Amino acid sequence: MAQVQQPPADAIRDEQLIEDVARGDRHAIEVLYDRYSSAVFGLALKTLRDREAAEEAVQEVFWRVWQRAKSFDRNRSFAPWLFGIAHNYCIDELRRRRARPQSVYEDDEHPILSGIADSTDVSEAALESEQRRIVQSALQQLPVEQRQALELAYFGGLTQQEIAARLGNPLGTIKTRMRLGLQKLRGILQGQYVPEQG
Amino acid sequence: MEMHAEHIEELAEGYALGALEPGERVRVEQHIAACPPCKRHIDSVEDTTHMLAFVATPVAPPPRCKLKLMEKVAREQFLQTPTRRSRTVNAMSMWAAVATVAFIMSGAWSMRLQQQLSEVTGAQNQIQGQLASLQTERATMTAQIAQLTTLESVVVAAEAVRSLHGAGSAANASAKTYMTPGKNEAVLIVHNLPQLPPGKIYQVWVARPELQQPLTMFNPVDTTEPVPLQPPEPMDSYNWIMVTIEDAAGAQQPSKDTVLFGEL
Ligand SMILES: [Zn+2]
Dump pLDDT digits (tens) for A103-139: 444 444 444 333 333 333 333 344 567 778 888 899 9
Percent of chain B with pLDDT over 70: 83
What's the rounded Cα separation, in Å, for the pair B145 and B85?
A: 20
Residue B123 lies in a domain: no
Query: Does the beta-carbon distance from B50 to A83 stay under 8 Å?
Result: yes
The 10 Å Cβ neighbour count of residue B94 is: 19
Question: With contacts defined as CB-CB under 8 Å, which chain A residues touch B16?
Answer: 182
B72 contacts A63? CB cut-off 8 A:
yes
Looking at the complex, report in whole angstroms how far the Cα of residue B82 sits from the nearest Cα belonging to chain A: 13
Q: Do B55 and A46 touch (CB under 8 A)?
A: yes
CB contact under 8 A, B10 and A175: yes
* Mutation to test the B interface, candidates A23, A29, A59, most B Cβ within 10 Å: A59
Nearest residue, CB atoms, A139 vs list B14, B20, B55: B55
Our CA-based measurement puts residue B16 at a distance from the nearest CA of chain A, in whole angstroms, of 9
Residues B216 and B152: their CA atoms lie apart, in Å, by: 18
| Domain stop point among B44, B63, B80 | B80
Least confident of A1-10, B3-12, B254-263: A1-10
Question: Does residue B114 lie in a domain region?
Answer: no
B14 vs B87, higher pLDDT: B14
CA-based nearest residue to B260, from B222, B199, B218: B218
Cβ contacts (< 8 Å) between A189 and chain B: which residues?
48, 51
DSSP B25: H
CATH code: domain of residue B10? 1.10.10
**Residue B7: inside a domain:** yes
pLDDT beyond 60 at B98 = no
Task: Report whether A92 contacts A75 (CB < 8 A).
Answer: no
pLDDT digits (tens, 9 = 90+) for B195-248: 898 899 999 999 988 888 999 898 887 777 788 898 999 998 998 899 999 998
- Confidence band, pLDDT 50/70/90 cuts, at residue A88: very high
Mutation for B interface: A34, A163, A173, most B CBs within 10 A: A34
Cβ neighbours for B74, distance < 8 A, ≥ 6 positions apart: A26, B143, B146, B147, B149, B150
Segments in B81-193 forming alpha helices (H): 85-95, 101-106, 108-126, 131-157
pTM given for the model: 0.57
Residue A15: is it exposed, middle or buried by C-beta count within 10 angstroms (0-12/13-18/19+)?
middle
Q: What's the pLDDT at A113?
A: 39
CB of A157 within 8 Å of a chain B CB? The answer is yes
CB pairs under 8 A between A and B: 171
Q: Of B62, B80, B98, at which residue does a domain stop?
A: B80
Alpha-carbon gap, residue B118 to B124, rounded angstroms: 10
Residue B111, domain member (yes or no): no
Residues 224-243 of B with CB under 8 A from A: none
Q: Is residue B34 part of a domain?
A: yes
Do B164 and B259 lie in one domain? The reply is yes
How many domains does the structure of chain B reveal?
2
Please, is A99 exposed, middle or buried when counting C-beta atoms within 10 Å of its C-beta (0-12, 13-18, 19+)? exposed
Residue of B nearest to A177 (CA): B13
When pLDDT is averaged across residues A39-57 and rounded to a whole number, the result is 96
Task: Reply yes or no on whether the pLDDT at B20 is more than 90.
Answer: yes
What interface predicted TM-score (ipTM) does this complex get?
A: 0.82
- Please indicate, yes or no, if residue B154 is contained in any of the structural domains: no
The pLDDT of residue A2 is above 50: no
Which has more pLDDT, B221 or A13? A13
A175 in contact with chain B, both atoms CB, cutoff 8 A: yes
Cβ within 8 Å, pair B65-A175: no
Compute the mean pLDDT over every residue in chain B, rounded to the nearest whole number: 82
State yes or no: pLDDT of A154 exceeds 70. Answer: yes
Q: CB A26 to CB B73 under 8 A? A: yes
Q: Which residues contact B250 (CB under 8 A, 6 or more apart)?
A: B201, B203, B214, B217
Task: Answer whether B69 sits within 8 Å of A33, measured CB to CB.
Answer: yes
* Pairing between β-strand B211-218 and β-strand B174-179 as defined by DSSP bridges: unpaired
User: Is B223 within a domain?
Assistant: yes
Contact: B51, A88; criterion CB under 8 Å: no
> What does the DSSP 8-state code read for residue B120?
H
Q: Assess whether B164 and B72 both reside in one domain.
A: no
Percent of chain B with pLDDT over 90: 33
Q: Closest partner residue to A87 among B50, B62, B81, by Cβ?
A: B50
Q: Which domain holds residue B17?
A: 2-80
**Which residues of chain A does B78 touch, with a Cβ-Cβ cutoff of 8 Å?**
none
Decide if B65 and A132 are in contact by the 8 Å CB cutoff: no
Query: Which of B80, B111, B142 delimits the end of a domain?
Result: B80
- Phi and psi at B62, nearest 5°, equal -65, 155
Give the pLDDT band (50/70/90) at residue B5: low
**Is B145 part of any domain?**
no
Span from the CA of A183 to the centroid of ligand 1 (angstroms): 19
